[in-house]
Amino acid sequence: MAGCRSWVFLLTVCAVSVFGAKAEIKFTIPVGKLFTYELKRETFQSEFEPLSKLYAGRLYDDPMIFKCNRQYFPDLPEWLRFTQRHPFDNGFLYGTPTSPGKSIIEIYAVNKRSYETARHILVIKVTAEKMLPYQAEFFLKLREIEKVLPSTVQTEIKQDLQKLWDTEALEIVNISNALDQGGRVPLPLAGHFEGVYVKVGSEQYFSDCLQRVLTPEHQRQCTAGAKVKVPGGCNFCSIPSNCITWCKTELFDLTKLEPEPPAPTMGSGILDAGIDFDPPESPPSRDYLPDYLVTVIVPLILAVILCALLAYVMFCRREGVAKRNARTNQIQLYHQHTIHGDTDELRNMAGNRGVPPPLSTLPMFNCRTGERASPLQSDSPSIPLIMAQHDPYSDTLPRK
């Protein structure tokens, strides 16, 4: 039986690879309710290596990055967001739709080891539904967006807020990152978090603990920047990271909202009879002479002044420069004449010493034997200076 299942799985995988079938996931969600979808790397890993786990026994844990966009569009719908902190983490699509409709989302997974890609199609159908009349938004200071999107963490947060609201009929309306609402990027140190806003709604009116947020004393403390204590009996967070910041808590009563004004009626675009059109008057005349003077005349005057200054430097001061150059040349000639004179004096002094000149200075002198060789009789105008050049078979090395 197990062998039969293996063959069925193998045929299914082959069919998928041959025909290029792509996964298509469909969701139907109401307006005003939070939608989350986790992009699990394990799902796409099985598509990149479908047969390695079954036969080769190799299990890969490749880093992946996800890219999501609306079909035929470069980005996602305005109500939908995507987050992925690291290639080894799962990705999340989350958001709250505001109007009914249908969105087709393309999900591309890129394997950073093999650079293979996989494509999934996510079809989200949004249906119209009445909004929850009473809503509240809380700020969780010790949370980050990708840590609260898993369903288990949402359940924990929801249970603590149910105790605070004193009702179990509570739904999470929206979850958003604090950075998306003007928050500051935290330091990359332990104990520093971005923060998360969690918005919930219910059919039941706010509890007494929540109504204390609307009191003037509470608002005055928050405005003064003082540390606001938790109201007595209102601390229901079982996990420290689920504790809310009371000064950033807001309550929304949708039953008291003013109805939207009716949309303007479109007319025919034709004026009623008997009403004459009065065109606007032509603008008054303007004198452009000051603009012309500033734009043309002033730069022209500056150019003339610069040209005159350059002509003065180039032509009127050349005499002084020529005199300096002539004086410098005279000094150089005097130094050269002095050097020639000193050289002649040294030569005369060397000739008057009465010492015979060295043998090495005599013509055709043999440095090994100390003899003077007479010039060779040859028709060639060149005389060899080394005897080896005249007789290549003679030994010129000194012998003992």
Is residue 169 classed as helix, strand or coil in its secondary structure? coil
pTM for the predicted model, two decimal places: 0.59
Answer yes or no: is 361 within a domain: no
Indicate the range of 11-15, 205-209, 300-304, 363-367 predicted with least confidence: 11-15
Contacts of 170 (CB under 8 A, 6+ apart): 158, 161, 162, 200, 201, 202
Render pLDDT for 165-213 as a digit per residue (tens, 0 to 9): 989 999 999 999 999 888 888 877 777 899 999 999 999 999 988 998 8
Answer yes or no: is 305 within a domain: no
The pLDDT value given to residue 5: 37
Identify the residue with better confidence: 324 or 139.
139
Answer yes or no: is 76 within a domain: yes
Length of the chain equals 400
Answer yes or no: is 79 within a domain: yes
Q: In the listed set 253, 275, 298, which residue is the last one of a domain according to the structure?
A: 253
Q: For the chain, give percent helix, strand, coil, nearest 5.
A: 35, 20, 45
Question: Is pLDDT of 10 > 50?
Answer: no
Answer yes or no: is 104 within a domain: yes
Q: In the listed set 127, 142, 167, which residue is the last one of a domain according to the structure?
A: 127
150 & 231 share domain: yes
Answer yes or no: is 339 within a domain: no
203 & 116 share domain: no
Quote the percentage of the chain above a pLDDT of 90: 38
Average pLDDT over residues 251-275: 77
The pLDDT value given to residue 317: 67
Render pLDDT for 221-258 as a digit per residue (tens, 0 to 9): 888 876 777 766 687 888 888 889 988 999 999 888 77
29 & 102 share domain: yes
Render pLDDT for 15-48 as a digit per residue (tens, 0 to 9): 333 334 456 899 999 999 999 999 999 888 888 8
Confidence label for 321 from pLDDT (cuts 50, 70 and 90): low
Question: Cα(102)–Cα(50) distance, rounded to whole angstroms?
Answer: 32
The pLDDT value given to residue 314: 79
Average pLDDT over residues 73-82: 94
243 & 140 share domain: yes
242 & 158 share domain: yes
- CATH number assigned to the domain comprising residue 51: 2.60.40.10
Q: Which residue has the tokens 């080891």?
A: 113
Average pLDDT over residues 298-307: 93
Q: In the listed set 221, 237, 253, which residue is the last one of a domain according to the structure?
A: 253
The pLDDT value given to residue 334: 80
> How many domains, the chain?
2
Answer yes or no: is 279 within a domain: no
118 & 170 share domain: no
242 & 148 share domain: yes
Residue from 252, 270, 262 nearest 206 by CA: 252
Spatial contact of 398 and 387, defined as CB atoms under 8 Å apart: no
Range of the domain at 149: 134-253
Answer yes or no: is 179 within a domain: yes
Confidence label for 149 from pLDDT (cuts 50, 70 and 90): very high
Question: Is pLDDT of 157 > 90?
Answer: yes
Question: Cα(212)–Cα(115) distance, rounded to whole angstroms?
Answer: 55
The pLDDT value given to residue 369: 64
Please, is 237 exposed, middle or buried when counting C-beta atoms within 10 Å of its C-beta (0-12, 13-18, 19+)?
Answer: middle
Spatial contact of 161 and 170, defined as CB atoms under 8 Å apart: yes
Mean pLDDT estimate for the chain = 79
Average pLDDT over residues 119-134: 94
Ramachandran class of 118: left when φ > 0, alpha when ψ lies in -120 to 50, beta otherwise: beta
The pLDDT value given to residue 12: 37
